[in-house]
Structure 1
Amino acid sequence: MVLGTTSGAGKSWLTTALCRYYSNLGLKVAPFKAQNMSNNARVVSSATGQGGTAPSGGSDPAQRRSVGAEIGSAQYFQALAARAEPEVRMNPLLLKPEADTHSQVVLMGQVSAELTALPWRGRSALVWPHIAAALDALRAENDVVVIEGAGSPAEINLHANDIVNMRVARHVGAACLLVTDIDRGGAFAHLYGTWALLPEDERALIHGFVLNKFRGDASLLAPAPQMLQDLTGVPTVATIPMNWRHGLPEEDGVFDDRTLAAGTVHTTVAVVAYPRISNLDEFQPLKNVPGVRLLWARSPADLGGLKPTDWVVLPGSKATAADLAWLRTQGLDQAIAQHAGQGGTVLGVCGGLQMLGEALIDTAGIDGNAPGLGLLPLVTTFEIAKTVQRTQAQFGAVQGPWSALAGVAVQGYEIHHGQTAQHPAMAAKGDVAREVIPGMCWQNAQGNVLGLYLHGLLEDPAALQALFGREGAAPVPTLDAVFDGLAAMAQAHFAPGFLQGLVAQPD
């Protein structure tokens, strides 16, 4: 089990690295995280323990509403690193924040209105049997289960209701690693304080401390690791260097947008970072595309100086109407309209597509009513039924800067309540959106504004090649290459034999 002294310490990437490391040893591996709080979610089959892709249905939006299942993106990628089919038991409980004090609760892949309505401390007894059963089943079917914790295991105000950290560790007798971010400062205090606040039986499960994101000469750390071991009995088993371009999506927030060296950028992609942004991890592959600069836009100044060939992206949102109101408050609506009006390239994904239309209509009380940005002649109606599915589709005739996508077959996933269609009154006046994928993707008459419900377009190799392929350009790293790189880094910085020893069966 990988625990952290804080959020952002490096639990997710190390769990992913260990999934690939143990898989490379020929072991059958599965990831697990009891509870994940994130608006980055992926769609998997609703059947546990079974592979395959959920059927995508027909082109009619009403036919495309199906019962897939949601898990946190981190566990989805960890499963791929483990060479396992992602499924709901790997993340039985997912909390999707909709406001600062409210989250939608997804249990075993499905939204639970009953659990969502309960206070946080009232859920533990109800969800623990599902968590324990999922973990026990994964253990029975695999050689190794690599478990990720959440936040810190020493949050003593939460310990009595814990269902994700030490209760999980105790349930299976997990060999635990405790990771800290040394770049923040205070790493040894974080490690010692976390260890000291745990009960004695839980301390005994910690097999090693890991210093993550280290810059400089590791020999200068002495004698602190030995002093810490003298205090706790726990060795520091790895010092891992800073690697902010590891290629793995960040789980807990917007990722580092440091860019390439001057003179190498041919396209800037500005992603609007509103407060309830969701599925931001799908843009991570752009960081690995040679010549692409990825940045986060939070004010009109962030969009200043963009060329028409540069992109403005409106990503998904867990609270579309609220994020649209925030966007207007910042003045970003005018900046986006100005970029589009000058022929600039604009992309809206899911909630971003809904914002690009004329109006959001919510008679079901799902998200809220709001006027849209008016860049596409569409209207979105929110419904209680939620589309959750993996989808395959093919672009029809596409014009303008998106024309390279014409005829390209892509695959991804959908997670949305809204259903979008042509605005009838605008159609009567001749303002008709070009529907390039039935019920899923539209563009404006000029061709520079594109909106689609499909998440994962920019993760699809065919789409990336169509949009960014250049003669003689360096290839975009594959996910497998990213996973192998993470495993190699872990192997290089742990003591020889230590990681094998964590999963060795007693004689």
Structure 2
Amino acid sequence: MVLGTSSGAGKSWLATALCRYYSHLGLRVAPFKAQNMSNNARVVSSASGQGEIGSAQYFQALAARAEPEVRMNPLLLKPEADTRSQVVLMGQVSAELTAMPWRSRSEAVWPQIAAALDALRAENDVVVIEGAGSPAEINLHASDIVNMRVARHAGARCLLVTDIDRGGAFAHLYGTWALLPETERALISGFVLNKFRGDASLLAPAPQMLQDLTGVPTVATIPMQWRHGLPEEDGVFDDRTLAAGPVHTTVAVTAYPRISNLDEFQPLKNVPGVRLRWVRSPADLSDLKTPDWLVLPGSKSTAADLAWLRAQGLDEAIAAHAGRGGTVLGVCGGLQMLGEALIDTAGIDGNAPGLGLLPLVTTFEVAKTVRRTQVQFGALQGPWAALAGVSVAGYEIHHGQTVQHPAMAARGDVALEVVPGIAWQNPAGNVLGVYLHGLLEDPAALKALWGHGAAPVPTLDSVFEGLAEVAATHFTEGFLQRLLQPAA
């Protein structure tokens, strides 16, 4: 099990690396995270057909060479507001659990979490478990269902990883260890220093001093991996992750409060000449040129994020970029925003006027569309013409259903429906809205959009191989094999 001293310490990254490392040993490997809180989700197999799990476990399953499925992340919390999350249990939205108080919910879902973990353990040689946040949140310990309760249930050998780049790493490791009950401290097999920059020999004598205090060795010092290629848990990117070379296209992604599925833009970080950046104010768009992209990504609360856009003055800035012929892409919630109106009679998301860049109207329904999707684009205009005839695979996760605005259609103002029920384009050709998540992860789409002359984008498999190599290189020799032995 991979635990962390905090969120962002490197749990997801390390768990993914270990999934591929142990797979290399010829073992059957599966990932597991009891509860994930994230608006980055993927569509996978479930007992009832298809369901949702957190993106991190989806990628960990691929790294393990396993088929992603809902038991690998039995509980997914998708934040809709500061104090409210949609609850997805075993891949399906549960209105009952969503309405239930948090502490009551924990006991209600534990039997299914434990059953999912037990089934994965029975079917595999190794289960790589990821914790959440920190296991030493003492206000949450009594109702824990994702950290040490899971570790105790499985008798897991635990690694505790910390982000040394933040500073205070040895205090974080010692403090986390010290706050755990003695029986749980005994499950900690090693400390991991992640995101290190500099000469590792200068860390001495701190690792030995920490071991003298705790009895736990520091088993790895992992260098900073700026461009490891794996999407971050929350989809965050920054300019430090850019490939070298001159920039020919800026892709500006609107960072509204309830953004979702940002990890699907990860491949663009590896396209030579492409720069990704956040947009939070009109000033962030002031230097955007006509060929540059403006992306409205998915949203877990479309109406609320539209209100935020307007409060920042971004609605006018987006319209101005589109009016100049600038390239605009809306994905899922972003597609819904591009239309004329959001209609919500079921109390799912909220009513709101859209940005008016596509003559469409979206109605929210209680039933949620969750499916993997393969489509072929029809004829497209403008900067999106390269996608015409291209077949791409992705997934859909949405409550909204979008159609042509009837009154506008009667007046002849009709969007070009390039994929029925999935994708629409404005008559000028520069604005495209799609329900298809994963478009910019599909190799065929990347090749069409960025040309035959672009350097190849690293495949996911090559990313997993690189992660496994880092783990193999920087852990104490033989330690990862010894982890396969049951805890004492």
The farther-off stretch of 497-506 and 166-175 is 497-506
Q: 1:487: which partner in 2? A: 468
The percent identity for this pair of structures is: 86
For residues 490 and 328 of structure 1, the distance between their equivalents in structure 2, rounded to whole angstroms, comes to 46
Q: 1:140: which partner in 2? A: 122
For residues 203 and 268 of structure 1, the distance between their equivalents in structure 2, rounded to whole angstroms, comes to 48
Alignment of 1:334-345 (within 5 A): 334-345=316-327
Q: 1:12: which partner in 2? A: 12
Shift of 1:367: 0.4
Alignment of 1:69-468 (within 5 A): 69-252=51-234, 254-258=236-240, 260=242, 264-468=246-450
For residues 349 and 319 of structure 2, the distance between their equivalents in structure 1, rounded to whole angstroms, comes to 23
The answer to whether residue 24 in structure 2 is matched with residue 24 in structure 1 is yes
Contact 2:340 2:355 in 1 (8 A): yes
Contact 2:2 2:11 in 1 (8 A): yes
Contact 1:259 1:293 in 2 (8 A): no
Shift of 1:107: 0.5
For residues 118 and 387 of structure 2, the distance between their equivalents in structure 1, rounded to whole angstroms, comes to 45
Shift of 1:16: 0.2
Q: Secondary structure at the match of 2:46?
A: coil
RMSD: 1.2
What amino acid is aligned across from residue 33 of structure 2 in structure 1?
K
Of 451, 454, 467, 1:469 maps to 451
For residues 240 and 412 of structure 2, the distance between their equivalents in structure 1, rounded to whole angstroms, comes to 44
Contact 1:8 1:252 in 2 (8 A): no
Contact 2:28 2:124 in 1 (8 A): yes
Shift of 1:291: 1.0
State TM-score, norm by structure 1. Answer: 0.95
For residues 317 and 457 of structure 2, the distance between their equivalents in structure 1, rounded to whole angstroms, comes to 31
Q: Deviations over 1:321-375 (max 9, x none)?
A: 0000001111111111011000000000000000000000111111000000000
Shift of 1:263: 5.7
Q: Deviations over 1:201-230 (max 9, x none)?
A: 100000000000011111110000000000
Contact 2:226 2:241 in 1 (8 A): no
Shift of 1:47: 2.5
What runs of 5+ residues in structure 2 fail to find an aligned partner?
none
Contact 1:272 1:315 in 2 (8 A): yes
Contact 2:234 2:263 in 1 (8 A): no
State TM-score, norm by structure 2. Answer: 0.98
What amino acid is aligned across from residue 237 of structure 1 in structure 2?
V
Aligned residues: 487
Shift of 1:260: 4.0
CA shift in 2, pair 1:324/1:431, >3 Å: same
Shift of 1:68: 2.1
Q: 1:41: which partner in 2? A: 41
What amino acid is aligned across from residue 263 of structure 2 in structure 1?
D
Contact 2:226 2:240 in 1 (8 A): no
Contact 2:326 2:430 in 1 (8 A): yes
The answer to whether residue 450 in structure 2 is matched with residue 497 in structure 1 is no
What amino acid is aligned across from residue 154 of structure 1 in structure 2?
A
